Structure formats: structure tokens, C-alpha cells
Amino acid sequence: MSPLPEAYEKLRARGKDLALLGATTGLLSWDQETLLPPKGHSFRAEQSSLLAGISHRLATHTDIARWLDECESTSLPPHSPEAAAIARWRHDYHRATRIPAELVEENELAIGLSRTAWVEARKNSHFPTFAPHLEKLLSLSRQMADLWGYADQPYDALLEGYEPGWLTRDVTALFAKLRPRLVAIAEKAFALPQPPSRKTLRGHYPRADQEKFLQLLLPKIGFDINAGRLDSSTHPFCSGLGPGDTRMTTRYDENDFMVSLYGVLHEAGHGLYDQGLPESQLGTPLGQAASLGIHESQSRLWENRIGRSRSFWKSWWPDFTRAFTDLTGHKHEDCWRASNAVERSFIRVEADEVTYDLHILLRFELETQLLKGDLSVHDLPAAWNELFEKLLGLKVPDDARGCLQDIHWSLGGFGYFPTYTLGNLTSSQLWQAANRDIPTLPTSVENRDYQPLLRWLREKVHSHGRRYPAAELVQRATGKPLDPEAHLKVLESKVQELSQ
Ligand code: ZN
């Protein structure tokens, strides 16, 4: 292949600077969630706002337009990875230059203040503390959406920031198809003669024992513990800062070891993706994740398809019983059932696989209405509670367990929620394809050999970075476009299995 144009190397160098700045911001956020003293948050908001402004100016400099023009005028093979990188750079540049740096800084500062107010509001279950901040962030998001431009409605422009290629109407259509099927599966699970429950396993599981177990599990599934860390935070997350530094968190409940277990399996799925992105491509889109939905598909696959399988419980059972004395007298089958309990619950992050997407459907419906102006901030709690009862059959007792539970809106993350459901659907479709491609996969998983699965994911997903749009990546990896059937089938057969 002919050498890459000089402008490509310049774009790569600028991209690397942006990646370094992004990692610095990421580290500040990690610190904010894990260590920052409570009084340090507004000072931190100023730091993050400054860095966001600097990044934005670097990402929107006119040099980039010149380098892009130069690259686009050279004859790179149209299907080469570099041609794809240039197309992604163009997309990002176009999007970034729509928004003035002042608006980026204002938004970042508003987010910092809003986050503090949200923590307070949630603690006291007092929506009015958070309402003016939500109002402000919605107005800033609407301004940005107008500047970005959109097909039908402002939400389209925001969705594009998280899941490029999806329009609100596509998500609406997909969710309309999912809703009755999910409700039917959930009803079937609720009606099981002996519905499994995590409560049967409640005991005393000291945090130190849980930590020890998790440090055993992580390298076994392929996570490089010399290139990452596990800490604790209120909301588990994973932050792939860059080569050799993937930070994960989980939370601990000494009565229920599955809280940290599934937190870690989930975040480690994200972490494995981050660790699998090609290091040599740092600074180019080929070294970045394809989309948030694809990211979530990785976490869900490890959490649910591996971690909630019978073979996981069976193969890890000797280690579980060694780690936790309170499991004495239980069987691995009890844990498998408990880990798959389907229950009506208020909190999304604790929801089981079947009801989880109903929580997402609710948020999507409400945030699209908020953005359009069809729902006022003032009316949000009531609208939440009404829809929640319709979808999940529970009366929301307070806003802390209702519309104040998630951090996303306090960070201005409107358009983020659908990526969770897209991730769930994708995870099952990838799992189905991996099983088709690797006939020995069930045996290797039974033997706690996760390498064949990880190798498959590296080859089909991780190694491509952002070369392909998410839809194309799914098509290439699985041989068909994203389709909810694989996931619905997984859920249906799980409920069927539990009934036996
Ligand atoms: Zn996740």
C-alpha cells in the first residue's frame, strides 16, 4: 500500500493529544467517583470544564479541516481501515465544530453543579432540589441539538452522540416490538410456581472475602490485572483510560455477594473490550470503541451469558464454597437459580435480565418527551410513577427510587439509555454467533477456559475499533443485521429452564 499522506500522521498526532486529554478527564472523573472529598466537587467541576474547553478547541481547530481535505483528496483504497478512520474523523470534526467552545464549557460547568445537586436530591428524595438543574441541562442539550441539526426531532441529534446511525423513530419502532414480548416473558417468570429469589442466599459475606474471590476471577476470564484496577464506588463503572490503564469499580453488600460479583463481571466485560482495542491505533478512530451499544454488548455477554449460566456456577462452585463459608449447605443449582431470579423492582441497576429493558423503555419514552417539550420537568416524577406502574406493576414510593435514581440525566446524558437495550440485544446475537462459530464453546466454558470466547470477541469486535459503524460490525460478526429475536429467545428459554 502507498504510504499514508503526511496529513494522516498529523491527524493521528492530534488524535493522540485528544486521547491523552480525554484520559486525563477520565481519571478526574474516576477520582470523583472513588476518592474525591465531598467539598471538592465544585472545584473539580472547574477543572473538568477547563479541560473540556481545551479539548474542544483542539478538536475543532481549522488545521484539522485542512488535514482532512488533504487526506480526502488522496487515493486511499475506499475500504481500507485508514479510509474508515478519515470518515470517522470527518464525522467527529463536523459534529464538534457545530458547537462553540463557550457552550461546551457552560455545559460542563452546569453538569458539575447538577451532579452535586442530584446527589443531594437523591439522598433526601427531594426532586425540587434537582429540578432547576435538569431544566438547565435540557435547555443546553436542546441548544446543542439545534446546532448539530436533526432529522425529525432534537433527540435524534443527541442519540447520534452515543449510538451513531440510530434515529429516534427506529428506537421507537424497535421498543414497540420489544415491549409486549418482554412483558409476556416477565409475566411468565412472575407466575413460576417456585420463583427463585436472591433472598434465599442472604448471609454474611465479608467484603475482604469477596475482594479475594474477585481477584481470582478477573485474570481467569482474561482481564489483565497488571493493566487495570478494581476499586469501589456507589455506581459501578469502567473507564478505559488508555493502554495499560483500565479502571473498574464495583460495590459491596456484605449480605449479598452477587452484588459485587455481577458488578465485576459486567464491568470486566467493558474492561476486556478496552484492553482489546489495538494499542497501535491510539489517537485514531481505529483505536476507539465502535459505540456505546457495542460496549454494553460486551459487558452483558460476560455478565449474563457467562456469569448467569449453569456451567459458570458449576465450574466455580469449589472456589465459591472455599471463599464464602455462608454458602455451606447450598448447592450450585441454588445459586444459579437465585442469580436468574426475575422480580419486579424499582432500581434499574439491580434489575434482572428480563425486566431490565422495561426500565430502559420507560426512560426512553420520558426523555424523548422532555426533549420535545411534551413533558415538563415539573411533571416528570408523576409521569415516571404512572408509566412505571403500567410497565412494572409497582407503585413508586419515593423519587429516590423513581426518577432520581440514575446519574445520567444529572450529567446531561439524554440519549444514552437506549444504548443499554441495544447492548443487551447485541450481546445475545453475538453469543449465538460465537456458539455457531466455536462448536466446543460450551465445553471450554464448562472447563473455565474462556480464551476461545475472548479470542473470538477480539477478532470479531475488539480489534476493529471504530472501523465499522455498529450496525455493520454486528452484521459482519454475526452474519445478520441486529434483530431482537436472539435475545428474546435467550430470555424465553431461561424462564423455561427455571420452570423445570
Ligand atoms: Zn455497562
pLDDT tens for 148-176 read 999 899 999 999 999 999 999 999 999 99
**Active site positions, annotated:** 267
Amino acid 1: pLDDT? 54
Question: What mean pLDDT comes out for the span 293-312?
Answer: 97
Q: How far is the CA of 296 from the centre of ligand 1 (A)?
A: 5
**Residues sharing a CB contact under 8 Å with residue 257, sequence separation 6 or more, in sequence order:** 205, 209, 210, 213, 324
Could you give all domains of the chain from N- to C-terminal order, each with its CATH number? 6-149 (no CATH), 168-498 (1.10.1370.30)
pTM for this one? 0.95
Mean pLDDT of the chain: 95
Q: How far is the CA of 273 from the centre of ligand 1 (A)?
A: 11
Q: How far is the CA of 122 from the centre of ligand 1 (A)?
A: 21
When computed from its CA atoms, the radius of gyration of the chain, rounded to whole angstroms, is 23
Q: Please check the confidence at residue 256 and state whether its pLDDT lies above 80.
A: yes
Q: Please check the confidence at residue 423 and state whether its pLDDT lies above 70.
A: yes
Q: How far is the CA of 386 from the centre of ligand 1 (A)?
A: 27
**Residues sharing a CB contact under 8 Å with residue 107, sequence separation 6 or more, in sequence order:** 137, 140, 144, 412
More confidently predicted of 116 and 209: 209
Amino acid 105: pLDDT? 85
Q: How far is the CA of 298 from the centre of ligand 1 (A)?
A: 8
Amino acid 404: pLDDT? 97
CB 71 within 8 A of CB 7: yes
Q: How far apart are the C-alpha atoms of 262 and 251, rounded to whole Å?
A: 10
Q: Please check the confidence at residue 2 and state whether its pLDDT lies above 80.
A: no
Question: What mean pLDDT comes out for the span 170-194?
Answer: 95
Q: Please check the confidence at residue 234 and state whether its pLDDT lies above 90.
A: no
Amino acid 76: pLDDT? 86
How far the first Cα of the chain sits from its last, in Å, is 59
Amino acid 467: pLDDT? 97
- pLDDT tens profile 32-88: 999 999 899 889 988 988 999 899 999 999 999 999 999 999 888 889 999 999 999
Q: How far is the CA of 52 from the centre of ligand 1 (A)?
A: 23
Task: Give the residue from 3, 5, 1, 4 showing the smallest Cα distance to 70.
Answer: 5
Q: How far is the CA of 334 from the centre of ligand 1 (A)?
A: 26
Amino acid 123: pLDDT? 95
Q: How far apart are the C-alpha atoms of 251 and 257, rounded to whole Å?
A: 10
Q: What's the pLDDT band for 108 if we cut at 50, 70, 90?
A: confident
Q: Please check the confidence at residue 178 and state whether its pLDDT lies above 80.
A: yes
- pLDDT tens profile 16-33: 999 999 999 999 999 999
Q: How far is the CA of 237 from the centre of ligand 1 (A)?
A: 7
Q: How far is the CA of 221 from the centre of ligand 1 (A)?
A: 17
Q: How far is the CA of 338 from the centre of ligand 1 (A)?
A: 21
Q: Please check the confidence at residue 427 and state whether its pLDDT lies above 60.
A: yes
Amino acid 7: pLDDT? 95
CB 289 within 8 A of CB 274: yes
